[in-house]
Every structure is written in structure tokens, then in C-alpha cells.
């Protein structure tokens, strides 16, 4: 059995981020996890992932936990496909239903009472876009015709989910490649 250690920098600010990434790479840490906290000085996860992957050769980087409902899955798939093309095997996306901070929930708008349904559909479309060269999809919330996000990852990305509520844990079992316990 191989044990790997991942580190979350929590609210790492831009001024300290490069030195922290360099230390993680030099120390042999397996992965860096960046939380999505908008109303803090912390580095935004997708920007931080791109920066860390460009600065290192071995370190993996992931979001811990990015909100999916309220973002268009085609744009998220494009970001992930681009990152996977630039740093194969080192991108670790993790998604959840909503931000941990109640004040940030309005930043990810979805129809009232539909957050879980939007999440499930967005994740389905996201996976299709990351594994098929052209996607036609018609759902309740998203529709695309012949959508493509460019070169697909050489190996399908593992997509993990967060959440601790019983419904969230069932969603992990149905839809995820892994679970990130957080908070």
C-alpha cells in the first residue's frame, strides 16, 4: 500500500503562495488542495491550481471543494481539459453543492429548491464533455449541441465530491470517483 499526503493551504494569500508551492514540491508532498472561499484573501482554486502546476513537475493540485451549481459545466470542463493537457495526471477536481460560507451562496445562483438537481445534471454533462469529442445534451438546466472542449485528457480525470449530508454521501456513491472529507 502506498500512502500519499496532501496538504490544504487553507487561506493562503497570493504573496505567500509561490513559496508554499515550492516547499510542497521540495518536500515530496503528493498534492495541494485549494478551498473555494471567495470572501477571503485566499487564492482562487482554479487560478491556484494552474499556477502550482506550472511551477512544479510532480505536485498534484486540486480544488477542495469547488461549487459546481451556478457555474456552466461547459466552461468548467474547458478549464479542466486545459489543465489536464498542460499537466497530465496532476489535476484533482472536487465539487460540492454550495459554498461553506453562507454569505457566498448568492454568488452561485440556481433556481430555488433545485441545487441538487442542477448539480447532478451539471456533473453528468461535465463528465460527458471530458470523455467525448463532441457532446449533444438536452437536460432540464443545460443544453448543448455538438459541444467540444478541445483535446480530451489522455486518462479520464477522477472527479471527487464533497459533502457530509446523507443525500450528499449517496451522491458520492452514485456519481463520484472519490470523496473529500472537508470542514
Contact 125, 135 (CB under 8 A): yes
Per-domain residue ranges of the chain: 6-179
Q: What is the pLDDT of residues 134-146, one digit of tens each?
A: 999 999 999 999 9
Residue 166 cell numbers, joined: 446523507
User: How many angstroms separate the most distant Cα atoms in the chain?
Assistant: 47
Q: What pLDDT does residue 10 have?
A: 75
pLDDT at 182 over 70: no
Query: What's the predicted TM-score (pTM) here?
Result: 0.93
Residue recorded with cell 445562483? 109
Q: What angle do CA 129, 84, 182 make, to 5 degrees?
A: 90
CA atoms within 13 A on the CB side of 113: 0
The helix (H) or strand (E) run that includes residue 92 is strand 91-92
Q: What pLDDT does residue 100 have?
A: 86
pLDDT at 183 over 60: no
Q: What CATH class has 6-179?
A: alpha beta
Q: What 3-state DSSP class applies to 150?
A: coil
Calpha distance 135→113 (Å, rounded): 27
Q: What pLDDT does residue 170 have?
A: 93
Residue 64 cell numbers, joined: 477542495
Q: What 3-state DSSP class applies to 102?
A: helix
Long-range contacts from 101-108, C-beta under 8 angstroms, 24+ separation: 101/37, 101/38, 101/39, 103/39, 104/37, 104/38, 104/39, 107/38, 107/70, 108/67, 108/69, 108/70, 108/71
- From 61, 111, 120, select the one nearest 86 (Cα to Cα): 61
Q: What is the pLDDT of residues 21-80, one digit of tens each?
A: 999 999 999 999 998 999 999 999 999 999 999 999 999 999 989 999 999 999 999 999
Calpha distance 170→153 (Å, rounded): 27
Percent with pLDDT over 90 in the chain = 86
pLDDT at 150 over 80: yes
Amino acid at each position: 500500500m502506498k500512502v500519499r499526503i496532501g496538504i490544504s493551504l487553507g487561506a493562503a494569500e497570493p504573496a505567500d503562495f509561490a513559496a508554499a508551492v515550492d516547499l510542497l514540491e521540495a518536500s515530496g508532498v503528493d498534492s495541494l488542495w485549494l478551498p473555494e472561499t471567495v470572501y477571503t484573501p485566499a487564492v482562487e482554486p482554479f487560478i491556484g491550481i494552474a499556477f502550482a502546476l506550472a511551477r512544479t513537475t510532480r505536485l498534484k493540485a486540486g480544488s477542495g471543494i469547488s461549487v459546481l451549481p451556478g457555474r456552466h459545466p461547459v466552461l468548467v470542463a474547458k478549464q479542466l481539459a486545459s489543465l489536464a493537457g498542460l499537466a497530465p495526471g496532476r489535476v484533482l477536481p472536487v465539487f460540492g453543492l454550495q459554498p461553506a460560507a453562507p454569505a457566498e451562496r448568492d454568488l452561485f445562483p440556481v433556481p430555488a429548491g433545485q441545487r441538487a438537481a442542477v448539480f447532478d445534471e451539471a456533473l453528468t454533462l461535465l463528465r460527458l464533455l471530458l470523455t467525448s469529442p463532441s457532446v449533444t445534451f438536452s437536460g432540464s438546466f443545460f443544453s448543448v449541441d455538438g459541444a467540444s472542449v478541445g483535446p480530451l485528457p489522455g486518462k479520464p480525470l477522477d472527479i471527487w465530491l464533497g459533502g457530509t449530508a446523507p443525500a450528499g454521501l449517496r451522491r458520492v456513491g452514485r456519481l463520484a470517483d472519490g470523496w473529500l472529507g472537508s470542514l
